[in-house]
Structure 1
Amino acid sequence: MRAAVISAPGQVDIVDIPTPSVSAGDVLVRIRACGICGSDTFYLSIGGLPPHQGNMPLGHEAAGEVVAVGSAVTDIAVGQRVVINPMAAPDGVIGNGGASGALAQYLLIKDAVVGHSVEPIPDHVPFEVAALNEPMAVARHGVNQVAPKLTDQVVVFGAGPIGLGMTISLKSLGVHHVVVVDVVADRLDKALEVGADAVINSSTEDLPARLRELHGNGESIWPDRAGTDIYLDAAGVPAVVNTALSTAKRGAKIGIVGVHKEPVSVDLMNIMSNELTLVGSMGYPTEIFEVTPDIVADWQTYAKIISHTIDFDDLPEALELVATPGATEKVVIVFD
């Protein structure tokens, strides 16, 4: 079979390797779609992660169809479509330094268990949309971490895939009002398409004033605070944290979901006096298949997140596209 591996910094190769054999508890999945994550481009830039540096399998956002099952597997059938939990592999996280990657024609799921390592999906969901399951689990965990109430007013910073995924999750949970903030007009248009109640272009609008207009004034000992209950950072830039802290009312929550690559200074007196809650979010401890029913029920909305579907043969060009700021949103690799 053909599989993508990182062979050196900046170099990805599609190589021929043996197709895995199925043991008693395993299933073999023919990969039909696999999303590209920002982490993939990071791994590429450094030549992969140990212990597979120089020969690291790539890809972890996968959907496909089962083509073989082990003799001990009773709840998974050949022909079923499935999405995959890359964290459940016993030999390391799939596509994240583990022994296998999902940017390959086939992927062996060792010790396969429905609801833990794989989850069936119905045939009407396109494979490229099903491949969003993993990043949408990241988005759902970010939402779960701040535990929104139906009456809450929420602002999401960043209209990339995770920010859009959080927007869909918030609205599917019935949250009252969701604002999305970005600096790219096309991304804000997409946010409205997936259900945002309002958007703010922070490069051209007065963000704090606009939030007060949308969410009213919030209680605080400091002036000009917005009535926003929850701030979600899917952008991972210091300006977002600073804006949230300078705008948050008493008792507001600030969820950090975007990856910050540099330290951010915070005013602890502001946090104390307004009794703000800062909440971190990483991965998806329980959400990998919690989000699946929502994708199945509303796949047309989730499909709007995808900006490009690119053939596996063109993977190097796809990775370059993802690594170019502003060139794309969500790229999904598709297989014949």
Structure 2
Amino acid sequence: MRAAIITAPQQVDIVDVQATSVGPADILVKIRACGICGSDTLYISIGGLPPRQGCMPIGHEPAGEVVEVGAEVRDIAVGDRVVVNPMAVADDIIGNGGSTGALAEYLLITNAVRGRSVEVIPDHVPYQVAALNEPMAVALHAVNQVAPRHGDQVLVFGAGPIGLGITIALKSRGVQHVVVADILPDRLEKALKVGADAVINSAEEDLAARLIDLHGEGDSMWPNRAGTDVFLDAAGVPAVLDTALGVAKRGAKLGIVAVHKEPISLDLMNVMSNELTIVGSMGYPNEIFEVTKDIVDNWEKYRVIISHTFDFDDLDEALRCVSTPGAADKVVITFD
């Protein structure tokens, strides 16, 4: 079979690899679609993760069709359409330094258990949309971490795939008012399409003033604080944290799901005096298939997140698109 392998820094090749035989507890999935993640571009830039530098399979956002099932596997059948938990085997994470990647024609799922390693999806959900399952689980975990209430007012920084997924998750659980901030008009239009109640172009508007206009004034010992209850950082730039903490009222929460590559200083007097809560979010300890039902029920809304699809043979072009700032939102690779 053919698979995408990182062979050197800044180099990915589609190569022929030996397909692994299916054991009695395993299933074989023909990949139909696989998203490209920002972490994929990081792995490519450094030539892969140890100990697989120079020979690392990539891809961890797959959806596909079951084509072979081991004799001991239950509740999974040939022909089932499935999404995959790439972290089901903790010491062999798919596409993240493990022995296999999902940017390949086939993916072997060892010790396959429905609800743990894969979940079956209905036929009406396009494979490209189903491939959003993994990143949308990341978004859902970020929402679960801040535990918003129905009456809360929320600001999401960043209208990329994770920010849009957060917006959908917030509205799916009935959060009263969700504002999304970004600097790209096209992304803000998508935020409105997936359910945001309002958007702020922070390159053109005074974000603090606009947020106070939308959410009212919040209680604080400092002036000019907004009535926003929860802030979520899906942008990953230092200015976001400065802005959020500068406008946060007493008792507000700030959730961090975006990757910050450099240390950031915080005004701890502000954190203390306003009793702010800062919560980190990483991965999806329990959400990988919790999000699947919402994708099934609202797949047309999730489809808005996809900006580009490329055939597997055009992987180089797809990776160039992903690595060009502002050129793409979610890029998905499709397979014949």
TM-score greater than 0.5 by the shorter chain: yes
> What's 1:157 paired with?
157
Residues 2-81 of structure 1 aligned to structure 2 (within 5 Å): 2-81=2-81
How far apart, in 1, do the equivalents of 2:91 and 2:126 lie?
29
How far apart, in 2, do the equivalents of 1:33 and 1:190 lie?
22
Residues 202-241 of structure 1 aligned to structure 2 (within 5 Å): 202-241=202-241
How far apart, in 1, do the equivalents of 2:68 and 2:219 lie?
60
SS at match of 1:34: strand
SS at match of 1:288: coil
Alpha-carbon distance, 1:89 to partner: 2.8
CA distance 1:78–1:237, shift in 2 (3 Å): same
> What's 2:330 paired with?
330
SS at match of 1:33: strand
How far apart, in 2, do the equivalents of 1:98 and 1:124 lie?
31
Q: Does structure 2 retain, via aligned residues, the 8 Å contact 1:24–1:71?
A: yes
CA distance 1:202–1:93, shift in 2 (3 Å): same
> What's 2:141 paired with?
141
How far apart, in 2, do the equivalents of 1:153 and 1:74 lie?
44
How far apart, in 2, do the equivalents of 1:50 and 1:78 lie?
35
Alignment deviations for residues 72-99 of structure 1 (CA, whole Å, 9 cap, x no partner): 0121100000000000136511000000
Unpaired runs of at least 5, structure 1: none
Comparing 288-297 and 81-90, the one that deviates more: 81-90
Alignment deviations for residues 251-305 of structure 1 (CA, whole Å, 9 cap, x no partner): 0000001000111100101000000000000000000000000000000000000
TM-score, length-scaled by structure 2: 0.99
Comparing 64-73 and 17-26, the one that deviates more: 17-26
How far apart, in 1, do the equivalents of 2:91 and 2:180 lie?
39
How far apart, in 2, do the equivalents of 1:44 and 1:125 lie?
30
How far apart, in 1, do the equivalents of 2:118 and 2:138 lie?
17
> What's 2:295 paired with?
295
Q: Does structure 2 retain, via aligned residues, the 8 Å contact 1:125–1:299?
A: yes
SS at match of 2:87: helix
Alignment deviations for residues 208-247 of structure 1 (CA, whole Å, 9 cap, x no partner): 0000000000000000100000000000111000100000
How far apart, in 2, do the equivalents of 1:92 and 1:24 lie?
19
How far apart, in 2, do the equivalents of 1:12 and 1:96 lie?
15
Residues 83-162 of structure 1 aligned to structure 2 (within 5 Å): 83-89=83-89, 92-162=92-162
Unpaired runs of at least 5, structure 2: none
How far apart, in 2, do the equivalents of 1:130 and 1:98 lie?
22
How far apart, in 2, do the equivalents of 1:184 and 1:76 lie?
43
1:66 maps to amino acid:
V
SS at match of 2:316: helix
Equivalenced residue count is 336
How far apart, in 2, do the equivalents of 1:303 and 1:234 lie?
19
Q: Does structure 2 retain, via aligned residues, the 8 Å contact 1:68–1:78?
A: yes
How far apart, in 1, do the equivalents of 2:195 and 2:90 lie?
38
1:316 maps to amino acid:
D
1:30 maps to amino acid:
K
How far apart, in 2, do the equivalents of 1:184 and 1:304 lie?
15
How far apart, in 2, do the equivalents of 1:179 and 1:105 lie?
40
2:92 maps to amino acid:
G
Identity %: 73
Q: Does structure 2 retain, via aligned residues, the 8 Å contact 1:89–1:109?
A: no
How far apart, in 1, do the equivalents of 2:88 and 2:21 lie?
19
Q: Does structure 2 retain, via aligned residues, the 8 Å contact 1:36–1:61?
A: yes
2:73 maps to amino acid:
V
Q: Does structure 2 retain, via aligned residues, the 8 Å contact 1:91–1:99?
A: no
Alignment deviations for residues 73-131 of structure 1 (CA, whole Å, 9 cap, x no partner): 12110000000000013651100000000000000000001111000000000000000
> What's 1:308 paired with?
308
How far apart, in 2, do the equivalents of 1:51 and 1:75 lie?
35
C-alpha RMSD of matched pairs (Å): 0.6
SS at match of 1:86: coil
Q: Does structure 1 retain, via aligned residues, the 8 Å contact 2:74–2:113?
A: no
Q: Does structure 2 retain, via aligned residues, the 8 Å contact 1:309–1:334?
A: yes
Q: Does structure 2 retain, via aligned residues, the 8 Å contact 1:64–1:81?
A: yes
How far apart, in 2, do the equivalents of 1:73 and 1:278 lie?
43
Q: Does structure 2 retain, via aligned residues, the 8 Å contact 1:90–1:110?
A: no
How far apart, in 2, do the equivalents of 1:181 and 1:306 lie?
19
